[in-house]
Structure 1
Amino acid sequence: MKNIFLLIITTILFSGCEKALEEVPKDFVSKANFYKNEEDAEAAIAGAYAGMQNDFFGITNYLMTELHGDYLFGRGSQAPITIWNQILNQQNIGRCATNWSSFYTTINRANAVLDNVPNIENIDANTQKQILAEAHFLRALCYFELVRGWGAVPLKTTESIDLSAVEAPRAPESEVYDLIVQDCLIAENDLGEVGGETGRASKWAAKMLLTHVYLTIENWPGAAEKANDVITNGPFSLINVTESDDFYKIFAVDTSTEDIMSMHHSETKGSTIPNYLHRAGNVPYNYSSGGVFAWLPDTNSFIGDSWDNNDLRKNFNLYTQYQNADGDWVPLPSTTPVLFKKFITNTSGISLYSVPIYRFTEAYLFYAEASSMADGSPSALALERLNMIKRRAYGYDPTAVSPVDYPSGMSGNDFRDAIIQERAYEFITERRRWFDLKRTGKVKEAFAAAGKTIIDERLLYPIPEDEINNNPAISQQDQNPGY
């Protein structure tokens, strides 16, 4: 089985420490002589984090999620992803398999930490507790991606070190979510106020993940409670915005008061996302000598003429001009008259190195939605928190009444629709739109509004053939519909 072989390789690589005793062969370090002290535990959890890769479990995962939105098209080899009235072609089935393998690799690394770190005696108790909590968080994060993408999936809660652990049936979604919630509760209780290093999970990241999970499984009171906790007790604050470029401050490394958890990048090793958004040399948004240039805005969707030009997020997220070799601003070519702008390479005065997993803005929208759904209609506080995000988007003080406020007296349905729309504007190219449409049952409605037809088979990714062929507990009859 493809992912199991990767996990076995990972286990072997994990042991590549030079600190083994002299009598232990240097070309092989077993579990028995690896998990000995705090340094080994730190190396193990670092290996688990490494599974998240450069952006968020790798660009293949990012693109497969993002290109399932209603507001963009794929280009080149990614164009077939956005042919919605057909099942995925073989290349993109392969991309789904790559993502599946990445998640289970990280799960196995987290399981290895959970199985072995508790037995280490030469370790500070608080450090041990923190590392175990991080492993619970990472496992929950992976299973949340899996269950939303594939539905019922095999549950693995112990380390797989050989092929004897291959057999595992698809567990019902409810069981997968039960494990996710358990892991999140442990993580939020045992994690610290901030991550030990940049990009590592804190208890606030765990609370946001748990909020997101509760929202997805429609535990409205639980979601509202957790989101409110982050808003009222967390060390975060909304960044003031008076012009479009102020939104870049949200994505700055180490300086953003809205960063709950992100994939952070250095100046020398940036995100790969800009190459999928920009034409090569699109100054000032992409200085790269080459670009994949594969994600194109669909102006027939909500990002078209219906989006108010006074919303500063529109100019922040989209652009129609770039600078030529003489430094003059010129229109983009007629074949691609609009492109996405949020993610850019390092430019003078703007350093964009972080790719958000959770940011503070979302806590307000989580609370507004969950609270209203729990109560059957929006409370004054739910309305205020939705309006705070909209006011900021138009350059107003988030805490003061503004001309763009949503009115009181909205029905529960209208209020939720407004939240989903604000989420669409706020989180463009941040991996939110597809799963928002799925969990609210609005996929076909949103795609129809953009002039697209989507078949039911596209609501779930295909189970990899390697899993079906090598897992005795899964057969072709377990495959998701259409594949």
Structure 2
Amino acid sequence: MKRYSYLFILFFGLSVFSGCEDTLDIEPTTGVDSEESITDEVSLNRAALGTYSAMQDFDYYGLRYLLYQDVYADNMQHRGTFTTDVEVSTRNIRASNLQLASTWSGIYTTINRANIVIRGAEELEDLDEETRNRYIAEMRFIRALAHFDLLRVFGGVPVITTPTTTIPEVQNVGRSSEAEVYDAVIDDLLFAEENLGDAISNAPYRASSLAATALLARVFLQQGNNAAAEANANTVIESEQFTLLDNFGDLWVREGNSESIFELNFTPFDANGLGSASDPRTGGQKFYLRQAFFNEFAASAEQGDVRFDQTTRFERNRNRLLKYEDVAENADNVPIIRLAEMYLIRAEARARQGAPLAPAPLQVINDINMIRERAGLAPVVVLTNAQALEEILEQRRFEFVGEGMRFMDLKRYDLTCELLGFCEDEGEAFRNLWPIPLQQIEVNPELEQNPGY
């Protein structure tokens, strides 16, 4: 439930890019968006806020893309009749899945809005250079996040860095390789890190330099550049700009708290579907914790893990997710990057650089214990690097369920065959990537489908 005042979205409004998308109303494009004239910093700022609004779409961080990372993996499952959701929950997605088409469209809408603001900032003559670069850096941060979100589920995708306003502009854009997408993401984030400084306003609800550094840590870790991941996570931690909350449960009632590095601010006027999505007392399609994961989490609770009671509850014969509880207004905020992740990234990246059977460095042990002790668990004392990596994966699972991390983690740990059945010898390894939406393939001859679909 929303506990604090509704911040910048309420005051500024997002009419610059208003409107909603029906699941079945899919534009068959990479991303075409209407454009309001940007004539001064006021309209530029309003357009920038509209880019954040695009991220709040129900098919992006407002519900499905966020939860699908757990639903497609082994943390959550769908209960309902929508075939689109069933396909994700049973890990049998078809290229014709309209929900994925909406997600693809929603993420590219975000990218396009960012590109429109970048062009507007470049063309405004009365902006000083520092302000101009700050707005460009803010949009490049969002563009990087969006391209990375596409990369981790679709693989190589079209990298779009200029505004598109007509369908022909995007009908012949081919896919970049995964390496090229990583390069584009990292380039955007390095620019953002250098030029953002503190958030323009309302941190952590708008991007900052340290948010870019934190996202770089996540990107480098997934890419396998462990030294860079460790260095960036360390920079965020050592900045002392963020602190872990003493009580894990406070993360979900104290919005914009000291642990939050970057957070999407939802209000009753910019609502999401997360609260209702796991409440068995309300109608509609539902997403609950899988029983096996619920049981593992309960076992951790028996060891003192307070996160279990603050994350889930058995209610009406369902394992409900409690992180988003605002059923009345669906205005729970979504933390996209928080400090706990930086401790676990630093620990994982350092452990991956050592020999598996060698003792884990003290820093790795300390970082793991920062998370364990906050959760009410006894500290670990001695681990090998291999054991440390196992412990980190388990803590990430309990810490971040419902926050869009699990599928990415299983791919990084190369566990999707063992845990999800995506095995090469069974012809199922192709499911490590989602299909490119059929609607996009049909209108863009340059787009190639992922193998297996």
Q: TM-score of the superposition, structure 1-length normalised?
A: 0.79
CA distance in 1, matches of 2:113, 2:268: 28
- 2:235 maps to 229
User: Relative to 1, partners in 2 of residues 1:133 and 1:62: Cα closer, same or farther, differing over 3 Å?
Assistant: same
Q: CA RMSD in A?
A: 2.6
Does the 8 A contact of 2:252 with 2:323 survive in 1? no
Confirm or deny that 1:184 pairs with 2:176. Answer: no
1:375 to 344, 354, 369: 354
CA apart distance, 1:204:
1.6
Verify: 1:432 aligned to 2:405, yes or no: yes
Shift of 1:7: 4.3
5 Å-filtered alignment, 1:227-266, equals: 227-241=233-247, 247-254=248-255, 256-266=257-267
2:327 and 2:43 map into 1 onto residues whose CA distance is: 35
1:285 corresponds to: none
Helix, strand or coil for the counterpart of 1:344?
Answer: coil
Aligned residue for 2:89?
A: 82
Deviation by residue 1:84-114 (Cα, 9 ceiling, x = unmatched): 3xx32577x1111111111111112222222
Q: Which residue of 2 aligns with 1:68?
A: 72
- Give 1:226 shift: 0.5
User: Are 1:345 and 2:319 an aligned pair?
Assistant: no
Distance 1:144 1:165 in 2: 19
1:463 to 2:445 alignment: no
**Corresponding residue for residue 204 of structure 1:** 210
The answer to whether the Cα contact below 8 Å between 2:61 and 2:334 also exists between their aligned partners in 1 is: no
Q: SS in structure 1 opposite 2:47?
A: helix
Alpha-carbon separation, structure 2, partners of 1:57 and 1:71: 18
Taking a change above 3 Å as real, the CA distance of residues 454 and 44 of structure 1, as seen in their structure-2 partners, is: farther
Matched AA of 1:216 = Q
In 1, the alpha carbon distance for the partners of 2:441 and 2:389 equals 39
How far did residue 236 of structure 1 move?
Answer: 0.8
Aligned: 1:419 with 2:392: yes
- Tell me which residue corresponds to 2:145: 141
Q: Where does the alignment leave 5 or more consecutive residues of structure 2 unmatched?
A: 1-24
> How far is the alpha carbon of 1:277 from its aligned partner?
0.8
Specify the SS of the correspondent of 1:261.
Answer: strand
**Per-residue displacement from partner, 1:116-136 (whole Å, max 9, x unpaired)?**
321211124332221100111
Aligned residue identity for 2:185: I
- Structure 1 residue runs of 5 or longer lacking an equivalent are 16-33, 242-246, 281-289, 321-331, 396-403
Are 2:292 and 1:300 aligned?
yes
CA distance in 1, matches of 2:225, 2:207: 23
Q: CA 1:164–1:301 in structure 2 vs 1: closer, same or farther (change >3 Å)?
A: closer
1:48 corresponds to which of 38, 46, 51: 51
Describe the shift of the 1:209–1:303 C-alpha distance in structure 2 as closer, same or farther (beyond 3 A).
farther
Write the distance in 2 (CA, Å) between the matches of 1:72 and 1:346: 19
**Matches of 2:195 and 2:39, distance apart in 1:** 22
Tell me which residue corresponds to 2:14.
Answer: none
TM-aligned CA distance change 1:313 to 1:454, over 3 Å: farther
Q: Is the 8 A contact 2:68 2:404 kept in 1?
A: no
Say whether the 8 Å CA contact 1:201–1:261 is kept in structure 2: yes
Match of 2:310 among 313, 316, 323: 316
Bigger shift: 414-423 or 113-122?
113-122
Q: 1:239-277 deviations in whole A, cap 9, x for unaligned?
A: 113xxxxx2322345551101111122367654211111
* CA distance, structure 2, for counterparts of residue 299 and residue 454 of structure 1: 27
Corresponding residue for 2:125?
Answer: 121
Letter in 2 for 1:63: L
Note if contact 1:220-1:373 (Cα within 8 Å) is conserved in structure 2. Answer: yes
CA radius of gyration, larger in: 1
8 Å CA contact 1:140, 1:181 repeated in 2: yes
Write out per-residue CA displacement over residues 311-354 of structure 1, whole angstroms, 9 at most, x where no aligned residue: 1111111213xxxxxxxxxxx44x43x3222221279xxx9832
Partner SS state of residue 479, structure 1: coil
Residue type of the alignment partner of 2:177: P
Q: Alignment length, in residue pairs? A: 413
Shift of 1:215: 0.1
